[in-house]
Chains A and B, each alone.
Chain A
Amino acid sequence: MTHDEVQELIDAYALGALEPGEMPDVEAHIATCPDCTVSLREAQAVAGALPLTAPLVRHSDLLTARVLKEIRSPENGPDQRDDSTRKSSRRWIERLAAMGIAAGLAGVVAWSAVLQVQVSDLRTKSDDLAVEVRDTRRSVPDLAAVKAQAQVAMSLSRATYKVVDDYQQVLNVVAGPDVTHATMKAAPFAPNAIGDVYWDRERQIFVFLFANLPEPGYGKTYQVWLWKEGAASSGGTFSPSPSGLATKIVPSSSAGLHEFNGIQVTVEPEAGSQAPTGPEVIQLPID
């Protein structure tokens, strides 16, 4: 997509009016174009003002009572607010459960459709990158049943089942009791990218969850690097979905995150590289 084409779409992007298929190209260009970044900020300022044009209606006093009662409940006390790891895990569980269940039920075609929906979801959450799916606490335990359905349904392909299985594995890790979690930091190449890394000591694997990743570009892919004593070892390559989501499972015989000096993801040629060569996408420094 050319600069001029993106410029024509920036206002629609700020309003959330782009088609899901248009998003990756537009976001990828904006991420590397200072002019378009400025244009987007201006358009977002206008879009952000639009709620003030809604006719003003006062809510009921009952709502005030409901909200104040809820925030004072033990469930919403300070102890609950500080547990960012648990919330982060739950956020991803909800997202993955929704994605995995949809894939299991409707097959690869529907999986693509779900990813399209995720594009829309993520677009509307620039401030809140977590896509919280309602009632997913109920959905998560149902995943086993969904897997059973997937096995029985003759129309499901093996690939579809693998998708569900992969996500089951990811869910097991992020919901596990003995898991270390850290949040990665976006680099200028993908300023909106988010990433969480989970270390599962029992299974000896790192699980990476990413969102808002732009397309790495034609003939390119993303590669995970684990840095230790000045040397980077590859954690393998991966490509994001059209909606910018990705998971990566990296087996490791290490004792955990603290063994490394840092973790980073870079853009590399499709076949992968022996050492980082492309721009950094997201990283985690470890002291």
Chain B
Amino acid sequence: MTSFTGVPDEELLEAFRRSDAGAFEEVFARYSHLVFSTCLRVLEDAQAAEDMTQEVFVRLWRRPELYDPARGRFVSWLLSVTRNRAIDELRSRGRRRSHETSGEMERDVDEPTASDDPLVAAELADQRAVLRAALDELPEEQRSAIELAYFGGLTHLEIAMLQRQPLGTVKTRIRLGMKKLKVALQQNSVTREQL
């Protein structure tokens, strides 16, 4: 079997568009743990997160043309699709969890590597560190509003009701938090091209 280690994502995608299962396996090895982690963050259920991860990758295998390189980096697209699918699943279950970072998750200090590909793992580790630090530096109320929206699938009105704050306050928190994240990411050169 052809070795795909170190091959850029775009070439891998080209290969498995031609039904090369080996290329797909490499993509799965690179990003399945990240996809699973995203699903778990949203669904807070390991079995459901594995089911969703399977669905995301099988769908990618069936329809690789859904990814358009012109719209950004593959991993960024993959994780956005994953988040969206997980939010759909969450809504279909009628579940509304807190989605503020749980204590159990915070205790995960011996973090595993993000990818089975060492080069990809190292790159992702750097980006994750920048992003996590930027998020952690936000005031709690801004961070939680952003996380409830993105990982909890809540609208700003739902967040306002949950947090018993005026809607305008929640809108402001989201806007200020996102602005600070944008600045932090730009300062650390974690740009759209990289993501």
Contact = CB atoms under 8 A, between A and B. Distances in A.
Nearest to B172: A8
B127 interface: yes
Interface in A65-93: 66-68, 70-72, 76-78, 80-81, 87
Interface string B117-159: 0000000100110011001000000000011011101111101
B4 interface: no
Contacts, number: 193
B43 to A, nearest CB: 11
B54 A52 contact: no
Contacts of A60: 50
A237 B168 CA distance: 39
B105 interface: yes
B63 A81 contact: yes
The dominant DSSP class at the B interface is helix
18 contacts: A8-B171, A8-B175, A11-B175, A15-B174, A15-B178, A16-B150, A17-B149, A50-B131, A57-B33, A58-B112, A59-B53, A60-B50, A76-B61, A81-B19, A87-B63, A127-B71, A127-B81, A128-B66
A18 B158 CA distance: 10
Interface residues of B, number: 78
Contacts of A46: 178, 181-182, 185
A51 B81 contact: no
Chain A, interface size: which category? Answer: 35 or more
A134 interface: yes
A71 B24 contact: yes
Contact of A47 (B34, B105, B114, B150): B150
Contact of A50 (B106, B150, B157, B192): B150
A71 B21 contact: yes
Given A48-B195, A54-B37, 10 more contacts: A12-B175, A48-B72, A48-B79, A49-B185, A51-B34, A53-B135, A54-B41, A63-B36, A68-B25, A71-B61
